[in-house]
């Protein structure tokens, strides 16, 4: 939930706190006029209110899908169908708390230097604290390291069995005023799930200035690799963004990218290449006086284009059912209720929209993306 709120705020420079988002659908290279009419009839009655603590998807002012987070635990519900949620990230401030906790844990290995390091959009680090440990030393402190990392995000538990088989170096970066502004980690050889990789992570962040992240973890054998680069620079209250996440595995290359300005046009895309064939999808967002226009692209075709508008809003308090089911059941209930609402809102054209959403052509396109 927090990721969704943060992304919306970064991409569109939305008001802080909660916001309510509404959409219209104006044209499509795929949908018929009747299908667009049915979609707009549903969208006209729909709104999404989202904040860091959850969201409400409402149709005709009635909640259709709700989610709430309380710490790392949460619930997602459609009617009486409810399933548990786990927070993807805790507050950004905890990243700095984690770095401080790691420094305290590794204090016996700490060495200070006055070396300058360019953290690109985040600025220049003027002071470094370095912690270089052998593989055996990392193994001895790893349970405590995991406690610190899991306090930032529960997904860090996936690293519980990570084994650093050589020297591993952790660095903390500070600006000239002593404010922590980033970190670096490198291990030439780290083993997880039977695969040995090189690990390299560096990041920096400065309030109202910029953000920089670089990560890679190539396997010692084969072409398996994950590479991440993100650059965001604040200029007059808006961010210029350029980022790419590239994953290569078993002959498949998947690339997620973002480029543009948060106060102008921003293009997000995903492409998958296998056996010499590439399938791509894209989303272009362009700020306007009223909000933003959007275009969902399927290769060279426009899947759907329209406009988005938003306003500041508070996410209301809500008591959701106990999370005793599975997420699949929530999805099934959502589909049933959406179909009923669509038939009520567009009695003459709802079948056209369902046809275009359920045709073999669209299903095949989806399979191309998934595979």
Q: Would the pLDDT of 364 be above 50?
A: no
Q: Taking a C-beta distance cutoff of 8 angstroms, is the pair 302, 27 a contact?
A: yes
| Three-state DSSP class for residue 93 | helix
- Is this structure's pTM higher than 0.85? no
Tokens representing residue 135 in the block: 């593989």
Distance between CA atoms of residues 321 and 368, nearest Å? 37
Per-residue pLDDT, 356? 79
Q: How many Cβ atoms sit within 10 Å of the Cβ of residue 106?
A: 21
- Is 320 part of any domain? no
Which residue in 114, 96, 102, 112 sits closest to 138, CA to CA?
Answer: 102
113: in domain: yes
Mean pLDDT across the stretch 275-301?
Answer: 89
CA atoms of 106 and 310, how far apart (whole Å): 46
Residue 171 lies in a domain: yes
The answer to whether 109 touches 182, Cβ cutoff 8 Å, is no
Q: Judge whether 239 lies within some domain.
A: no
Q: What is the mean pLDDT of residues 273-300?
A: 90
Residue 219 DSSP symbol: B
- Tokens 């990570």 belong to residue: 162
Whether 64 and 45 have beta carbons less than 8 Å apart is answered as no
Section 57-75 average pLDDT: 86
Residue 128's SS3 state is: strand
Q: Residue 301 domain-assigned?
A: no
Q: Does residue 329 form part of some domain?
A: no
Going by pLDDT thresholds of 50, 70 and 90, the confidence category of residue 6 is very low
Asked if residue 109 is part of any domain, the answer here is: yes
Q: Mind giving me the DSSP string for 221-284?
A: SSS-EEEEEEEEEEETTEEEEEEEEEEEETTEEEEEEEEEETTSEEEEEEEEEETTEEEEEEEE
Q: What domain count does the chain have?
A: 1
Residue 8: its pLDDT value, please? 47
Q: Are 196 and 165 in contact (CB under 8 A)?
A: yes
* Chain CA centroid to CA 51, Å: 15
Domain extent for 174 = 90-221
Rounded average pLDDT over 237-262:
92
Q: Report if residue 45 sits inside a domain.
A: no
User: What are the residues whose beta carbons fall under 8 Å from the beta carbon of 109, sequence distance 6 or more?
Assistant: 131, 132, 133, 137
Distance between CA atoms of residues 257 and 270, nearest Å:
7
């Amino acid at each position: 939930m927090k990721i969704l709120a943060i992304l919306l705020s970064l991409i569109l420079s939305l008001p802080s706190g909660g916001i309510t988002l509404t959409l219209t659908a104006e044209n499509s290279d795929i949908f018929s006029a009747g299908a667009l009419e049915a979609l707009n009839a549903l969208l006209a009655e729909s709104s999404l209110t989202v904040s860091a603590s959850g969201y409400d998807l409402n149709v005709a002012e009635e909640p259709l899908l709700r989610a709430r987070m309380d710490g790392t635990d949460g619930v997602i519900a459609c009617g009486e169908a409810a399933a548990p949620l786990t927070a993807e990230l805790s507050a950004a401030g905890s990243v700095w708390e984690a770095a401080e906790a790691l420094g305290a844990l590794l204090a016996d290995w700490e060495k200070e230097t006055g070396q300058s390091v360019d953290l690109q959009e985040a600025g220049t680090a003027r002071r470094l604290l370095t912690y270089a440990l052998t593989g055996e030393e990392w193994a001895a402190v790893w349970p405590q390291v995991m406690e610190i990392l899991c306090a930032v995000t529960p997904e860090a538990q996936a690293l519980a069995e990570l084994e650093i088989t050589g020297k591993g170096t952790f660095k903390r970066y500070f600006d000239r005023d002593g404010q922590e502004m980033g970190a670096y980690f490198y291990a030439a050889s780290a083993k997880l799930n039977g695969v040995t990789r090189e690990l390299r992570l560096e990041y920096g962040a400065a309030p109202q200035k910029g953000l920089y992240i670089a990560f890679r973890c190539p396997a010692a054998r084969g072409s398996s690799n994950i590479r991440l680069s993100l650059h965001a620079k604040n200029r007059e209250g808006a961010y210029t963004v350029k980022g790419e996440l590239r994953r290569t595995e078993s002959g498949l290359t998947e690339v997620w990218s973002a480029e543009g300005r948060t106060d102008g046009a921003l293009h997000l895309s995903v492409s998958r290449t296998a056996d010499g064939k590439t399938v791509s999808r894209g989303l272009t967002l362009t700020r306007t006086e009223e909000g933003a226009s959007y275009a969902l692209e399927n290769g060279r075709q426009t899947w759907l284009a329209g406009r988005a508008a938003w306003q500041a809003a508070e996410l209301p308090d809500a008591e959701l059912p106990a999370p005793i089911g599975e997420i699949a059941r929530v999805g099934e209930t959502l589909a049933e209720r959406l179909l009923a609402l669509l038939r009520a809102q567009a009695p003459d054209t709802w079948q056209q929209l369902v046809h275009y959403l359920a045709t073999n052509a669209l299903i095949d396109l989806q399979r191309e993306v998934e595979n």
